[in-house]
Structure formats: structure tokens, C-alpha cells
Structure 1
Amino acid sequence: DMQYVLDRARVVGSEQQFLVGVRVLSGAIKANQAGGAYALLAERLIDAVLRAVERELARAHGKVPGGGAAVIAMGKLGGREMTAASDLDLIVIYDFDDTALHSAGSRPLAPTQYYARLTQRLISALTAATAEGTLYEVDMRLRPSGQQGPLATQLKTFIDYQKSAAWTWEHMALTRARVIAGPPQLRASVEAAVRAALVLPRERTKIAADVRDMRERIFKEKGTDDIWELKQVRGGLVDVEFIAQYLQLVHAAAHPEVLDQNTLEAYRKLRDAGLLAQDHAEVLIPATRLLHDLTQILRLCLEGGFDPATAPSGLKELLAQAGDAASFAQLEARLKEAQGRVSELFRLLIV
């Protein structure tokens, strides 16, 4: 029964999210381990819900010959950097036999209609409120063609779009793409398509100009001088992610080994390949870890922004502990210095 599946998913999801949070707050796991735990939970839930939705759709409309759908995790889920408050950035890719005109049920659907309906039901199954609460918010804006495009994309259309029509920011987002659900053969095909798009030769100066322009647009709309706005402040999460994504895009054609969905791992691979100077890595890796660790604590403990003037002393102590600082004052000094140095490297490296 689909309602039972939805309720059980929410029970499992809320229980496990709570346990991850308790382990972070109690010190049983470090904040930097939480991102992978939250992501693993989301992956398992998405896979289980997708299978249930596929069963329901097949009962009503049969199956599309040779058909299947794969889910690509993007953003924080793709990078295994989720927090307690993260939504899901997803793309759905489908494929089917070229000869298939419709599904093989008593109420047949054309393949494009079939997979559009599958995607709509998957989103609803993940987002709808039931008696057991809610599960996740889902963001599909990273799909090919953006908000105006179809919710699900056929594999060959996805390949053509990434090769000839995708913008720089879409390829940057693709550096975090990770296939997390779907039949094995289709998953392998989608993974190959993502990798092929990322290792295309690129003109460095054009990519750098696009990245700088995009960063300025974001800062103009959302920028801040508050060092505790960890994402949008200069030298914050947006900057460390953009630097890693830019360096991967401009070097992946010659050095595909630098590709990794996780920002920290990408920096380590870039350093090990000799494409990121050791002294730069010694700034970017600790700064990225610090920003992620502090973000985990804040998302776990607060719904709104963080104001040190009114924050409880216990929260400040927890933040200092997560940042390996002897005191909250020392943590603020470290954070401000790290953001300043990341901001400098953004200007130095993205050229």
C-alpha cells in the first residue's frame, strides 16, 4: 500500500535524522561526518520510494518496453554535504527501447508521458505531508532546460543538451552530480554521460569570466558582510564551492582524476595532481572543513540566522568545539581570517 510506504519512509527518515543530530551534539560523531550520514539516509529513502512509485505506476499503466528511470543527486546531496535542513536537488533521466511507442498496460501511456508522471509522483511521495509528517523538500531547478523544461529528460536529450546547450553554471553544478537510484545499466550510462560532459575541453578565460560574473550576480542579490552568513559572505561556502568547481572544469579534460562530487575531496585531488599549489590547498581545505562543520551545527540548532549577541552560551561552546577553537572569540577570529584568505584566492585562482 503506497500510503504505508509513505508513512514508513517518514518514520524512518525522522528517526534517523534525529539520531544523526543527537550523535553530532553529543560528540559521538564529528560534524564533518554528518553530511555523509544525512546523504546516505536520503539516498536510501529516495531509492525505496522510487521503487514503490514504479510499482504503483506499473500496476496502472504497465511498463515501458526496455524502460527505466535513474535519479541524479545534485548539490549538497550529490556532494555528500547535507545538513539537517537540506532539501534535495534532483534530476530524473529515463530511457527506453527505440521501438517502444507506449507502455504495455491496460491504460497505456506514451514514454515521455509515462516518465513525466513517474517523476511527478516521486516528487509528491518525497514532499507530501502525511500523518507521520514530512520528509524532504525537492528542488528540480537544476534539470536540463531549467524551470521551463520537462521534469524528466531522456538520456539522449540530456547528452545533447550537456554537449551543446548547457551554460557554464550548469556544468559547474554537474561536478556534484551522482547517480543514486535506478536500474544498473541505465545508472552506468548516465554516469558515463555526466563524465563525458565534464571532461570536454574548455576555454579557461571564458569559464573564469562566467564564474566571476555569476558570483557577482549572486553577491549583488544575496551578499552580506556578516561572517556568520556562512554561505553568502565573501570567502564563504559559495566561494569555496565555486573555486573547486572551476578548477575541476578547466582541468578535467587533461586530468579527469580530479573529478569528485565532494568539495574537500576535489581539493585534495587537485592538490595531489599538482593543479592546486600546496600553500593554496592549506588555506582552502581547512577553510572548507570549518565552514561545513559550523554549518552543520547551525542548521541543526537554529531555524533562522545566527546572532552571537543573543545566542546561548551552550551553542557558542558547541560551535567552538566543532571549529577546534579554545573559545568562541578564537573561533570568530579564525573564521574571519579564513574567509578573508578564501576571498583572496577566489580572485587569484579564477583567471
Structure 2
Amino acid sequence: GTPQTIAGLETGYAVMALGKFGGRDLGYASDIELLLIYGDAGFTSGPQVIGNAEFYEHLVRKVKESIQARREGIFKLDLRLRPYGNTGPLACSLESFCRYYGTGGDAHSLERLALVRLRAIGGDRELGPRIERLRDEILYTARGIDLSELRTLRRRQLKNKTLKGRLNAKFSPGALVDLEYTVQILQVVYGAGNPEVRTPYLLPALKRLHSAGVLAAFEAKRMTESYAFLHKLINSLRMLRGSSEDLFLPLLESQEYAHLARRMGYKLSPALSPGQQLHLDFETHTAFIRTFVEKHLGRESLPGLASGNIVDLILSEHLPGPLKYKILKNLGMEEMERAVVNLKKLAGRGRQREHFVKL
């Protein structure tokens, strides 16, 4: 039968995209993150009457079972971003969506932040845009996002998803999630007063945050370049390994690292091998992102306060003393304060500092 409201009116559903799919930024082997929301509680018409919740649960389960990737970990259908995650129903009503994400709801701050990329892609043509408007009312409010909750979760990610001594393109300090989270947080913070920054698309968000006066032109440009680099790196890692799960960079001197660098387009130069060029670019872009996070959310928003390199030393205004000492010691320098002052003098300011870092 057809799902109906208690009053007997037909009730539709909307298919909402989230994550990379919602942001129209799918890469190689990205998960396809979806959420199905139906309009109202009630029962189906027809000879075998069941509740709307049961009807849509059955529908989503059948769709999930009918879609299979050709390889494990490649374009997997991901329904975990629904209310209550894996413990919740596969589809949710509009009422339960508003209750879960709204004021006093059970949603974690990261779940609320994920709504930035919520986008209607199918189903009822009126219900989808209505959900997007409700999302705006829920998300871009004075309540905003609990930064302390996000910082705790980010530290947990670093502990559980990285390995000591190994670089991870997604979860290392200054890697992809730090850039994505920070841009989305800025959208939420400034979206209440600046509706133009409300977009599910990250690169346009950077441009709009600049237009709204939140980001300087060089910041928007720098983060656009860093995002493009990390996106290409992650795609290359997934193609190299045939899986979306393992985003650890290979060991620097390994054949796999050299293969990865060549896949990304690095060529042998008189001074540096392709692998060395890739390593320097990774260190530079992640330092750019750490400085970006530090400026807008504070150094405490970065997990692993002991992470950094000489680029952090040049760009950061709030680098902890022990980290400065660690970086300089690795460079063979002993007079810490003098070395920092001299490096910053050599680097200069503004665009001059940008060019110095690249050198």
C-alpha cells in the first residue's frame, strides 16, 4: 500500500545526501552517505496495513541489499549518519529528525555539524527543500556547535585512527578532517547573520567566507590549494591500494611512497626525488591547515599539541614552547629564541612569508 498520515493523506519521503556526496565532492571509493526522511507517522493503505516507520524501514533495507560494490570498501552505501547511528531506525520521520537535531535533542555536535552538507537529491520535491529549510533553522542558530565536544571527539579520532610515527592523510593533525571541520564550524558560527555562507559545498564555502569578511583572500586561496592537494593524495592512496580504508602514507623511503608520488604527478628534479617533493608538500599543507585552525578556533582545537614542523614555526604565533624546542632540535639548532626570531625576520610578513615558506 501507500504510506498515509493519520488523517488519510498520502505522505512522501525525501532522500538526503550527506558527507562527500552531499558536498558533491565524491572521490575514488568515497562512501555514499544517505538519509531517508519521511513526512509523517501513520499507516499504509492496502490489504496489509503496516506503520509508516515499518514501511520505510523495509524500503531502505531492500535498497541497501540491492546495491553492492564490486570490491570491498569501494563506494559503500553508508547510512550511519542517521539519528542514533547504527542503533537507530534506517529511516526517520520528519518529527524525529527535528527532535533529534533540535534544541535539547540527543545529537552530538559532530552530527549537527554534518548537517552543513545535508542536501536533497530525491523523493518528494516539496519535502526535500522543506527539510533543508528546517536544517537551516536548527543549525544556524545562537546555540550553534559545542566546540569542547568536538575537540574531545577529535582527540579520540587521533588516538583511535592514527599510529605513532605514521602520517595519515585524513586524521593526522592538520590533515583533511581538520580543514573540513574548521570550514564547517565557521559556516555555522557566521551562517546565522550571513545566509550566503550556508552551502553544502566546501570550496564555494571558502569563497563565501572570504566575501563575508571572515577569511582573508590568502587564507581562502591557501585552504583551497591544501584541500585540492589532500583530495588528490587520498584519491591516489585509494587507487594505489584499492581500498578506501587505509589512508596512512607509506614509509618515506619505500617503493610504495615513490609509486604514490609518481601517481600524483611528481617528477624527478635535480634537487629532490618525487617522494621527497610529496613529503615536503604534505608537511607544508598540513602546517598551513594547523595555522588556519589555530587562528580561527585556537591551538587547543588541534589534537596532538606536539605536532608541527618548521612551517608551523614560521607561520604560527602561538606555538607551545616545548614544540618550538622539539622542531629546532630536530633541525640541529640550540639557541631557540634567537633561531625563532631570525627565522621570522627572514620570512618577513604577508605574501613575503608565503613565498619564504614555499622556498
TM-score if structure 1 supplies the norm length? 0.72
Deviation sequence 1:291-341 (CA, Å, 0-9, x none): 01221222223235542512275542231359xx99442232122111112
The answer as to 2:187 corresponding to 1:248 is yes
| Partner Cα distance (2:166, 2:199) in 1 | 28
Give secondary structure in 2 for the equivalent of 1:216.
Answer: helix
**How far did 1:262 drift?**
2.2
The answer as to 2:348 corresponding to 1:348 is no
**How far did 1:154 drift?**
0.7
- Who is 1:55 aligned against? none
- Who is 1:89 aligned against? 33
Match of 1:71 among 15, 20, 37: 15
Q: Which amino acid aligns with 1:144?
A: P
CA RMSD of superposed structures (Å): 2.8
- Who is 2:46 aligned against? 105
Give secondary structure in 1 for the equivalent of 2:126.
Answer: helix
Give secondary structure in 2 for the equivalent of 1:72.
Answer: strand
| Partner Cα distance (1:151, 1:246) in 2 | 27
Give secondary structure in 2 for the equivalent of 1:200.
Answer: coil
Quickly say closer, same or farther: Cα 1:66–1:170, change in 2 above 3 A.
same
Quickly say closer, same or farther: Cα 1:135–1:235, change in 2 above 3 A.
closer
- Who is 1:320 aligned against? 265
CA contact (8 A) 1:225 1:234 kept: no
Q: Which amino acid aligns with 1:255?
A: N
Q: Which amino acid aligns with 2:129?
A: A
Instruction: Describe how 1:18-33 pairs up with structure 2 within 5 A.
Output: none
- Who is 1:4 aligned against? none
CA contact (8 A) 2:197 2:208 kept: yes
| Partner Cα distance (1:329, 1:170) in 2 | 38
- Who is 1:269 aligned against? 208
The answer as to 2:64 corresponding to 1:123 is yes
Quickly say closer, same or farther: Cα 1:258–1:247, change in 2 above 3 A.
same
Match of 1:234 among 142, 161, 173: 173
| Partner Cα distance (1:241, 1:227) in 2 | 21
Deviation sequence 1:41-80 (CA, Å, 0-9, x none): xxxxxxxxxxxxxxxxxxxx34544122211111111112
Q: Which amino acid aligns with 2:58?
A: R
Would you identify which runs of 4 or more consecutive aligned residues in structure 1 move more than 6 Å?
A: 132-135
CA contact (8 A) 2:169 2:249 kept: no
Give secondary structure in 1 for the equivalent of 2:37.
Answer: strand
**How far did 1:174 drift?**
0.7
- Higher-Rg member (1/2): 2
| Partner Cα distance (2:240, 2:48) in 1 | 49
Q: Which amino acid aligns with 1:151?
A: L
Match of 1:156 among 95, 108, 111: 95
**How far did 1:153 drift?**
0.9
The answer as to 2:166 corresponding to 1:221 is no
CA contact (8 A) 1:226 1:233 kept: no
CA contact (8 A) 2:258 2:274 kept: no
**How far did 1:226 drift?**
6.0
The structure with more helix, counted as a fraction of residues: 1
Give secondary structure in 1 for the equivalent of 2:25.
Answer: coil
Name the structure, 1 or 2, with higher relative contact order (CA <8 Å, separation 6+): 1
Identity of aligned residues (%): 28
Deviation sequence 1:154-192 (CA, Å, 0-9, x none): 112212222121321111111111111112011121221
| Partner Cα distance (2:157, 2:81) in 1 | 16
| Partner Cα distance (1:342, 1:135) in 2 | 28
- Who is 1:31 aligned against? none
| Partner Cα distance (1:135, 1:297) in 2 | 14
**How far did 1:258 drift?**
0.7
Aligned residues: 282
CA contact (8 A) 2:34 2:81 kept: yes
Match of 2:283 among 329, 336, 341: 336
Quickly say closer, same or farther: Cα 1:182–1:118, change in 2 above 3 A.
same
CA contact (8 A) 1:319 1:328 kept: no
- Who is 2:331 aligned against? none
CA contact (8 A) 2:173 2:290 kept: yes
| Partner Cα distance (1:134, 1:346) in 2 | 30
Instruction: Describe how 1:1-40 pairs up with structure 2 within 5 A.
Output: none
| Partner Cα distance (2:73, 2:168) in 1 | 27
The answer as to 2:256 corresponding to 1:311 is yes
| Partner Cα distance (1:106, 1:128) in 2 | 36
